[in-house]
Structure 1
Amino acid sequence: IKTGSMSRSDRVAKYNQLIRIEEALGEKAPYNGRKEIKGQA
């Protein structure tokens, strides 16, 4: 059973997965920044 916060390797793995998803989607999924969050920017 895992307790506590994520380890560094878990965080890096999650970040790397996000990078792979971004690369796979390419221009289909642009990041519009904080303006997409209601009430922000």
Structure 2
Amino acid sequence: MLGDSKKVRSLKIIFRYKVILFANKILIYMRINLDEISQKDY
């Protein structure tokens, strides 16, 4: 039982880490696209 709860906890941490990395990728991608759009206007 204790081993399973530790496994679940580590999986939750890994999942949260992956979500944060994915969100950062999206933010960086959006920022790059916004920069390209603003450069096209000028």
TM-score by length of 2: 0.48
TM-score for the superposition, normalised by structure 1:
0.49
Greater helix fraction, Structure 1 or Structure 2: 2
